[in-house]
Structure 1
Amino acid sequence: MSSRPSDGPARLGDMTSDAIATVATSADVLRHPEAGEHLLTPLEKERAARFRYESGRADFVAAHVLVRLCAAALLGVPATGLTLAQRCPDCGEADHGKPYLPDHPGIEVSLSHTKGVVAAAAGHRPIGVDVELTDRGGTLLDVAPRVLAEAELRQVREHADPARAFLRLWVRKEALIKIGRTTLDGLAAVDLSALPLDLPGDRPLLSPFEGLQLLDWVDEAHGSAVAAVSELAPRAVELSAL
């Protein structure tokens, strides 16, 4: 990732956080020494095979590999020993919904993928992560009146770059959905207008929000905006640290 905390990217030996998040291109993840479809469960392989285009399949596989790498880093175990499962809280199906580690209930995980870029997070408390391409900001801006609180909408409209400002709010709110703090239908009721919309230079921004710690940053190298949220302050780490 190009954006990093002021003290540099975290390495495994100097992590002070019990929650980590990372973003990388799908191609870079799939080149990781531990990466490979051998990590996936039969259901994950079946789901990957359903993608019509190879690019979509690669993004799916990379996200499911990256979240294992994050969890393995916290646990101090090889990624090959981790089984990832999903369960929808509404319908109970196992081919979508919140991801979790059946054999490690003490570790919470989250993943996200967009075109060519994936993000993942792991922690000892519930955690959510979202990534979006920055060039999507203008398209997503059309839904702003439906998903933003009135104060947020004013902030976005008055911002020098409304599309970029909205995208930052969007990934923050998507991360809050992942952690179970809100739903798609309830996004407008979540008011993040008290949080800064502009980042401190090229460093990630950590903001408190209603008992949570929300970390977000822009990865200019990969053209993406990322947000991670947990009760414990997430730490942005480099793929090379995993």
Structure 2
Amino acid sequence: MGARPEQVPGSPSWLTGTELARAARFVHEADRRAFVAAHLLVRLAAAAVLDVPAHTLTLLQHCDIHGPGHGRPYLKEHPELGVSLSHTRGYVAAAAGPGKVGVDTERVPAGPFDVSLAAQIDAPPDVTGNHDLIRLWTRKEALIKRGELSLDTVRSPVSWEGRHLLEWHVPPDILVAAVTDVRAGRVAL
């Protein structure tokens, strides 16, 4: 699923105290709205898969380094279901399904080619524009969210065998990539 933050139904009351505390730390209201919308959308995506009400799902995250609210998300009630979410200013995306899932959404920057990012992810020489570069980055970030790459290994070559890739473009400048274990499709809100 993907949408503009204002299009995502639901209530911030669905979020945990940890999620609400993280949302409150955003300096810009647009970023706060995107964060909240992404956390609502992942519940809606999971609810569609599980055929349960979205407000009954508790999204948790825990990272050994950064503590609660960080790390790969999971549902308290259905930890076996893969879930992932992403937000950028003006757009949010979420994925839910069996096995590992990862989703990323990014804006394509205007202006000159981002040489620094290209070097960071070891972009091939035929990637010469920001659109193709961000397309590659969203794919790799989705793999990071699946737990298959890290920022330390993002330069590694990627085999797509056994993975399914779903991508879309939201005009004028947003790209989304979802990587799943099973064939996936976009679901409307």
TM-score of the superposed pair, with normalisation by structure 2: 0.92
The aligned residue for residue 24 of structure 1 is 3
Task: Describe the SS at the equivalent of 2:102.
Answer: strand
Question: Which of 80, 94, 100 pairs up with 2:68?
Answer: 94
- Which residue in the other structure is 1:187 paired with? 154
Residue 137 (structure 1) shift? 8.1
Structure 1 residues 68 and 124: CA distance shift in structure 2, 3 A: same
Q: Does structure 2 retain, via aligned residues, the 8 Å contact 1:137–1:167? A: no
Summarize the alignment of residues 5-44 of structure 1 with structure 2, pairs less than 5 Å apart.
Answer: 22-29=1-8, 32=9, 35-44=10-19
Q: Please give the secondary structure, in 1, of the residue aligned with 2:154.
A: helix
Q: Pick from 41, 54, 57: which aligns with 1:66?
A: 41
> What SS does the aligned partner of 1:112 have?
strand
Contact 2:98-2:181 at 8 Å conserved across structures? no
Q: TM-score, normalised by structure 1?
A: 0.73
CA distance in 2 between counterparts of 1:191 and 1:124 reads 21
Deviation of residue 97 (structure 1)?
Answer: 1.0
- 2:88 corresponds, among 101, 106, 114, to 114
| Bigger RCO of structures 1 and 2 (CA < 8 A, at least 6 apart) | 1
The structural deviation recorded for 1:62 is 0.4
Task: After superposition, give the CA deviation of every residue in 1:85-118 in whole Å (9 maximum; x if it has no partner).
Answer: 0011x42611211110011122110000011111
Aligned structure 1 segments of 4 or more residues deviating by more than 6 angstroms: none
Aligned length: 189
Task: From the superposition, tell whether residues 39 and 137 of structure 1 become closer, same or farther in structure 2 (CA, over 3 Å).
Answer: farther
Higher helix share: 1
Q: What's the counterpart of residue 125 of structure 2?
A: 154
Q: Percent identity?
A: 45
SS at structure 2 position matched to 1:154:
coil
SS class of match (1:72): helix
Runs of 5+ in structure 1 lacking a partner? 1-21, 193-208
Instruction: Identify which of 97, 101, 104 aligns with 1:130.
Output: 104
Contact 1:141-1:166 within 8 A present in 2 as well: no
Cα deviation, residue 215, structure 1: 1.3
Residue by residue, what CA displacement relative to the aligned partner does 1:187-223 show, whole Å, maximum 9, x if unpaired?
Answer: 111247xxxxxxxxxxxxxxxx121111112122x63
> Secondary structure of the equivalent of 2:153?
helix
Superposition deviation, residue 47 in structure 1: 1.4
- Cα deviation for residue 237 of structure 1 reads 1.7
Match of 1:211 in 2: 162
**Pair 1:236 & 2:186 matched:** yes
Query: 2 CA distance for matches of 1:28 and 1:212?
Result: 30
Unaligned runs of 5+ in 2: none
1:148-185 CA distance string (max 9 Å, x none): 2xxx421213xxxx111111101000001000111112
Aligned residue identity for 2:138 = V
